[in-house]
Amino acid sequence: MHRIPTPTGESGKFKWSAALLISLLPLISACSSGVRFLSDAAIADGSKSAPEIDSFRAPPDAGVSSPKQGCLPDADTGPAEAFTAVMEAGPAPRGPIKKTDPERDGTIPEEKKADRRFYAAYSEIFGVALTGTEDRRLLRELKRWLGVPYRWGGCSGQGVDCSCLVREVYKKVYGTDMKRTVRTMLDQKDLEPVDQSELDFGDLVFFRTRGKRINHMGIYLADGAFVHASRSSGVRVSRLDAPYYRRGFARVGRHKNMLLKNASSRLHVGKLIIQ
C-alpha cells in the first residue's frame, strides 16, 4: 500500500485525497468483482432479478476478499453493506422442527376428538384394535353383556347361552327377530353365508365344539376376536386363532341388516377412522 503523505495547503489536500483513492482501488476492485460475479450468475440462470442480488452469498472461489478483512470501509453504503452482512452471517441456522399436537392446537374438531376417545376406550375394553367404523350401538350393547355368566337356556342378565346372547343383542340394536337356537339361526333366510376371509364387524361366527354338529356361535368384533357366551367363563372375548376355536370353526353368517350397515360404514370411513 502507498504511503500517504501529510497534507500541506490546498495542493497537499489534493495530493492526499489522490493517494487515498489509489490505496483503496484494489479493495474496491475486489468487491466489484464479487458483486458482478453474483449478479451475472443469478441473472443468467433466471433464478433472481437484479435487485435481489444483494442477498446472495458468493462462493469461496469467486475472487471476493474475506468478509473478516472487509472490502469497504465501515459506512452506511446500502447494497454493499447488505452484501457484507450476508457474507459474515452465512446461511440462517436451521433449528429443530417443531412438532405440533393436533389434539392441543385445536386443528381437530371436537366431534372427531370424541370419536377417537370412544373407539380408543372400547379397543381397550375388548382388547382389539378397532378401526373407528364399528357401530357404536352394537359395541355398547356387547359391553353391557360382558361378564354375564353362562346358563343353558338362559336369556337374561342372570345367565345366558350363546344363541340367546346373539338374539338379544341383535334385537336390541337392530330390532331384528332372530331365531332362538343355533340350528334354527343357520336356516334363517335373511342370514347370508360369508367367506372367512371377508369377516366384518357384527358378523356371526359358528363352531362345532362337540362332534360334527354346529352347536356354538358368537358375534365377530375385529382383529380375529369375537364375543360369545362361553360355558366355562360366561360372556367374554375370545380369538378365532385359539386352537380350540380354530379347530371347531364352521362358517360365517351375515344378517341382511349388517350388509346395509357395513356398506354405510365404508362410505363414512374417512370421517370416522382413527389415525
Query: Span 93-108, mean pLDDT?
Result: 57
More confident of the two residues 59 and 128: 128
Q: Which of 129-133, 218-222, 263-267 has the lowest mean pLDDT?
A: 263-267
Instruction: Calculate mean pLDDT across residues 252-265.
Output: 66
Q: Assign 160 a pLDDT band (cuts: 50, 70, 90).
A: very high
6-to-1, 18, 173 alpha-carbon distances in Å: 16, 12, 106
Which amino acid does the sequence have at 111? E
What sign does the dihedral 109-114-120-126 (CA atoms) show?
negative
pLDDT digits (tens, 9 = 90+) for 181-199: 998 888 887 888 999 999 9
Give me the pLDDT at residue 111, please: 77
The pLDDT, as a whole number, for residue 171 is 93
The C-alpha cell that represents 91 in the structure block: 446461511
| CA gap 143, 122 in Å, rounded | 9
CA distance 143 to 126: 8
| Selection from 149, 108, 144, 143 nearest residue 127 by Cα | 143
Mapped onto helix, strand or coil, the DSSP state of residue 203 is coil
- Over the chain, what is the mean pLDDT? 73
What CA–CA distance (Å, rounded) separates 239 from 141?
A: 19
First-to-last alpha carbon distance for the chain, in angstroms, is 71
Q: Where do the domains of the chain lie?
A: 14-89, 111-272
CA distance 110 to 102: 11
3 state DSSP class of 229: strand
The enclosing H or E element of 113 equals helix 110-126
How does residue 166 score in pLDDT terms, banded at 50, 70 and 90? very high
pLDDT category at 215 given cuts 50, 70, 90 is very high
- Report, as residue numbers or ranges, the catalytic residues: 162, 216, 228
Among the ranges given (91-95, 134-138, 214-218), the one the predictor scored with the smallest mean pLDDT: 91-95
Match domain 111-272 to its CATH number in 1.10.1510.10, 1.10.357.10, 3.90.1720.10, 3.30.70.260: 3.90.1720.10
Burial of 90: CB neighbours in 10 Å, binned 0-12, 13-18, 19+: exposed
**Can you tell me the distance from the alpha carbon of 73 to that of 67, in angstroms, rounded to the nearest whole number?**
12
Q: Which amino acid is residue 127, in one-letter code? A: G
Q: Name every residue whose Cβ is closer than 8 Å to that of residue 246 and which is 6 or more positions away in sequence.
A: 240
Q: To the nearest whole percent, how much of the chain has pLDDT over 90?
A: 42
Phi, psi of 31 (to 5 degrees): -65, -40
pTM reported for the whole predicted model: 0.58
**CA–CA separation, 216 and 17 (whole Å):** 109
